Structure 1
Amino acid sequence: MNTVKMTQAKPNRRKTSPVERYHHGDLKTALIEAADRILAEHGVAGFSLREAARRAGVSPAAPAHHFGSAAGLLSEVAILGFEELAHCLDVDPAAGTPTQRMRMQGVGYVRFALTYPGRFHLMFRHDLLSPDHAALQAAGDRTLMQLEQTIRAMRSLPPQQPLDASARAELLAAWSMVHGFAHLALDGKLAQLHADAPSSDLLSEVLPKMLENRWPDA
């Protein structure tokens, strides 16, 4: 008796292209998130457009198509950095005196750097970012303005009054102190003075004492 071998027909599953897996607008977000993860894992030196495209599941040409260049994509990640830094600098005006708020902002600045070292190292690398990126410039200006507002409060300067030379120097001193401290902490250069001090101690003890010495309570 002849037997017939029955085979089940396989469904016709058309392979979708990587771009088809994203809704409109999501591809740019996926590439930005991929670049951000690369920076978090490997730093600025480990970034490449090809790796960002691979992680996003698109062709190597896709990042350049959407952002123009590596600088365009990295500028978008830098914007994320400035937005998060602005959040870390956002101190409730009722939290203390202007001097106390300045010290809180200093701790917030360094906390951001230690939490997001990839973003932090990128945000100030102008050689890697688009020089004419308006949104990036605006994000940086908004972040610096938060420190400026605290300086104004410390000196009782109205919002419309330009900062004089002394106030600008105070702003630069505040920024330079916490920015330099963050770099030293990330590079492990504080070990000689504070051996084996974890990041939590740097933020809760070492840095607050340094800031209090610079801006003591009246």
Structure 2
Amino acid sequence: MNNHNAEVAVSELADPAIPKAVRSWIRDFREVGLEPEVEHIGRRWRLSVTTEHAATELWLKRTPSGSWKWADASLTVDGEPRPLAHDAADLARIFREANQASERVQADPMPPPCAPDSAPPRVQQEYWALVRHLGDETPIQLGRDGNQWFLGLDVGGAALRMRFWRTRTEGLLMRLQVIVDGRDRSEQARGDLAQALQLMKPAQEAGPADPGMNPASAALPSSSAGSRKGTVMRN
């Protein structure tokens, strides 16, 4: 804050000096784990978040009717401009990925293999659905560790893991893990297998990371991305 006559830093959500619309944006940021710096600069409000690798600014201006609306925004990763996020959750993901880019993530290790007919019906269904869709030349792994079953797929620089486990109250549950080029993309998949395979396509097309690995010959299926629900930078 260089212009002390124009800027007033504020941080308390309950501060009555902060317009209701601005406080709503503050809540949106905080709900996804981002703590914005909030400033009143001239006739505008600015919300900003800055980390080691990513930074964003959101500007709000007052309309003739007296309400506060989105005016402008920016998003950079390592100093390079990036397209604006779809929503607050997407913005938080971009920040996490930017700050964790130097830490390559590996997929969960596969347990010892087991026969498909020894797995619960739902696990068998998912296994054979993958086999039918991807073809015999794409190695689909199936393993078991106690009361947990794992489906695994490794193509190029991407890996998929579906972990199933039993609970007393909810039956068989599933967690989907997607690792692409050392980055955890599981959150983007949102638990949807078709979306997970779509995220893996670029890494598959780039070829196997391990020279000894046979590339998958069957193209991974495409699926449309989820519909946009507005943008965290626009109102």
One fold, TM greater than 0.5? no
Structure number with greater CO (CA < 8 Å, separation at least 6) is: 1
TM-score, with normalisation over the residues of structure 2? Answer: 0.24
TM-score, with normalisation over the residues of structure 1? Answer: 0.25
**Is the helix fraction higher in 1 or 2?**
1
